[in-house]
Amino acid sequence: MGSRRRLPLAAGVAPSQLRDPARTLMTVLVSLSRSNHASSMTQRPPTTSPLPDAPALPGFSDQSPERWVAALSDAGLRPQQARNAAKQLSRAWYDDGTAWADCIGELPRAAREVAPNVLGAPAPLTISERVTAEDRTSRLLFRTTSGHLIETVIIPSERGASGGRTTVCVSSQVGCGRRCVFCETGKLGLLRQLSAGEIVEQFRQARQIWEAERGPAPPITNVVFMGMGEPLDNLDAVISAIETLCHDFAFGLSAKRITVSTVGVAPKVEEFLRRTKAHLAVSLNAPDDARRTALMPVNKRCSMAELKTALQAGLTKGRDVLFEYVLFDELNDSLDDAELLRAWLQDVPARLNLIPANPGPDPALRQPTAERVWAFQKYLLDQGVRALVRHPHGRDVGGACGQLAGTHRTQLERLAHTQGPHGR
Ligand code: SF4
């Protein structure tokens, strides 16, 4: 283990207090907690409001192809005609990148007459900016029809026995109402929900871009909901998007290659696990309630005990949960903390990713030394915990964990102020 460094001097910490590390830590935590509380007083609650410019008909990607089979059938097509039309539209739009008007125009006549009556055009997203990091991680900034900006990240990885994979990280909300203190997106507050179609569209466009230029790099096979937003606060849209991503007519992904990351919204955990086979990842980030609440205000309402109870109730045989634990220097990375973590994890089927902190909005939350990270991991491995250290991708373009929205926060905040909550 490397030598211990002093905690940075946080606001409200007197120099004399540094002589008492335990007291100093508590002061920092209280300070963080108070600033969170102040933020939460102005926090906009999650909403399920429709898009401000929502079309009269649901957009094509807002529902899975299976639902379009039923809708086309209800509109008068024979079952096989309806199935063929939904399949043709899906292939043309999702796979071939055909313009929407042409997708409709190329349908057989009966379907062409019926389709515009039951389904709307897919939600358009326009690429506003793209930045690529040295490791080929690519951050895409999309503009929605309501003028909001959302971010999507393409993450290639050459590692692994399978020769590597490429993952798309999608956003589920514009901004986020959960206000985790280490997260740039949390500084925005929640601006509005994304529709299922807008989530799917991030993936479709990212895949088109990647396929056009990837060369020998692996194709996109994985999706993570780890971009802007708390997915369980927009659960219906997230589930619908997963259904489309997995549908044979569309992208045909395996649900096992989709991971949804939550801060631990306990009341929604069981429902998520019941409605989809996609993996669940939970950002834990602290070994006890006091520190978790200071870092993540959600813990005030959903304690670690409640979270564990929800997971134990929802995880069926053979399923496990991936816990993410961001390591902050001298805040949650001691061997005592590793032991607390081990004890908490012991009665949940779990894997654990340890993530050295990225530079974020709070300079007091720093990355530990490599020695401290290694010692933390080794302790857990020796105790039988499946713990991997994950190194962030795309840090130089602000596409790493906790950095999304940081680069564009000023622009996003301006949009929030001119448009009001949820784009209205
Ligand atoms: S970490 Fe996730 S849940 Fe927390 S504020 Fe950021 S986007 Fe929201």
Confidence of residue 73 (pLDDT cuts 50, 70, 90): very high
Task: Give me the pLDDT at residue 360, please.
Answer: 64
Ligand 1 in reach of 185 Cβ (< 6 A): yes
Sheet-wide strand order for 258-262: 126-132, 138-143, 149-157, 165-169, 220-225, 258-262, 279-283, 321-327, 350-356, 387-389
Instruction: Tell me if residue 330 is catalytic.
Output: no
Average of per-residue pLDDT across 67-73: 94
- In ligand 1, which atom is closest to the CA atom of 296? 4
Nearest residue to 291 (alpha-carbon basis) of 232, 344, 369, 228: 344
Q: What pLDDT is recorded for position 265?
A: 96
151 included as an active-site residue: yes
Closest CA to 152 of 134, 172, 133, 135: 172
CA of residue 140 to ligand 1 center, whole Å: 18
For the stretch 343-382, what's the b/e string if a residue is b when 16 or more beta carbons lie within 10 angstroms of its beta carbon? ebbeeeebbbbbbbbbbbbbebbbbbbeebbebbbebbee
Name the residue of 44, 176, 365 to mutate for ligand 1: max ligand atoms within 8 A of Cβ. Answer: 176
pLDDT of 35 reads 36
Catalytic residue among 103, 169, 246, 401: 401
Domains in the chain (CATH in brackets) are: 28-54+123-423 (3.20.20.70), 60-118 (no CATH)
Q: What is the mean pLDDT of residues 329-336?
A: 96
pLDDT at 90 over 50: yes
pLDDT of 361: 63
- Flag whether pLDDT at 167 surpasses 60: yes
Query: Which pLDDT does position 164 carry in this prediction?
Result: 82
For residue 158, the model assigns a pLDDT of: 67
pLDDT single digits (tens) 288-307: 999 999 999 999 999 999 99
Atom of ligand 1 nearest to the CA of 227: 7
- Is the distance from CB of 211 to CB of 73 less than 8 angstroms? no
Task: Please give the mean pLDDT across all residues of the chain.
Answer: 82
Average pLDDT, integer, range 98-105: 95
